[in-house]
Amino acid sequence: MSKQKIILITVIILLVIGVGGFWGWRKINSQKAINNNQWTITKTQKAIDNEQQSTDNSQETIDNNQNTIDNKQQTTDNKPQAVTSNQEPVTGGNNQKAIDNSQNTIVKTQQVTENNSTSSTKIVQKLVAWGFQKSSGRKIDTVILHSSYDALGSDPFSVSGVIAEYKQAQVSPHYLIARDGTIYQLVSDQNIAWHAGVAKMPDGRTDVNSFSIGIEMINTQDGKFTSDQYAAVNRLIGDLKNKYPIKNILGHSDIASSRKTDPWGIEWKKVNR
């Protein structure tokens, strides 16, 4: 074989080997790329699976929360409904009886409060031994307001001085209200106090002392009553109305206009008549 043929065969063999090696290397790299792509796909799929699992867990949490809400709502629905003044009771049996009993308790408590309201005003007991006639069971329907002051002493607003004048004249009201609003009781309600004197009611009745309560408020003829006195007399009138069927609240001048002008300077709009 000639030398040229040997060289040609060698070249051909090298070409075949080179081409084969190139295609083999390319195939190996392609397979690696495929494997890498497959690994990426697998990893992505795992991420998708994890995300799906997280979504499923979230949905399960939502479902559990909804069940909790439903259970609470059912519990609320099963509880007795509160009854208001504009609403009918929605439960029956023992629950309704409990509601009725509670309502009865409220009514009874209100009644007790109203019955005890006559003791809501603080009154200082200073009962005197003159100026009244003992009585029992008399019917009281009138309140007469008076005014007086101590004309003999140095202090015209002296409580003890005013009472001393009553003793000297042998008269007395049932109550005396000082300038600071303190209420003194001088004669018991059921006794007939001598406060009105010769008088006549607008309805024609006389002997006014027999069916009236007399209230004196300390004030001079040219003075004014204090705000404490107005507050006190209104509380006292309110208590008397709760105890007796009071129909008339008048001034001394209303029943004895020919000889009396008191209560001096009173503002009737400030009195709860």
Q: What is the pLDDT of residue 143?
A: 98
DSSP string, 206-241: --GGGGEEEEEEE--TT----HHHHHHHHHHHHHHH
State the Cα–Cα distance between residues 51 and 207, nearest whole angstrom: 102
| Per-residue buried b or exposed e for 148-161, using 16+ beta carbons within 10 Å of the residue's own CB | bbbeeeeebbbbeb
118 — pLDDT class (breaks 50, 70, 90): very low
103 — pLDDT class (breaks 50, 70, 90): very low
Catalytic residue numbers, as ranges: 216
- CA-nearest of 230, 187, 234, 177 to 209 is 187
State the Cα–Cα distance between residues 104 and 110, nearest whole angstrom: 10
Residue 184 β-bridge partners:
124, 176
Res. 42: pLDDT tops 90: no
Least confident range of 4-13, 37-46, 171-180: 37-46
Q: What is the pLDDT of residue 121?
A: 86
Res. 132: pLDDT tops 90: yes
> DSSP secondary-structure letter at 268?
G
Residue keyed to tokens 């009105």: 196
Higher pLDDT among residues 25 and 248, named by residue: 248
Res. 115: pLDDT tops 50: no
- Tell me the average pLDDT of the chain: 77
CATH architecture of 122-270: 3-Layer(aba) Sandwich (3.40)
Higher pLDDT among residues 211 and 37, named by residue: 211
Domain boundary assignment for the chain: 1-79, 81-119, 122-270
User: Tens digit of pLDDT for each residue in 84-98?
Assistant: 333 333 334 444 444
Q: What is the pLDDT of residue 44?
A: 47
Higher pLDDT among residues 57 and 181, named by residue: 181
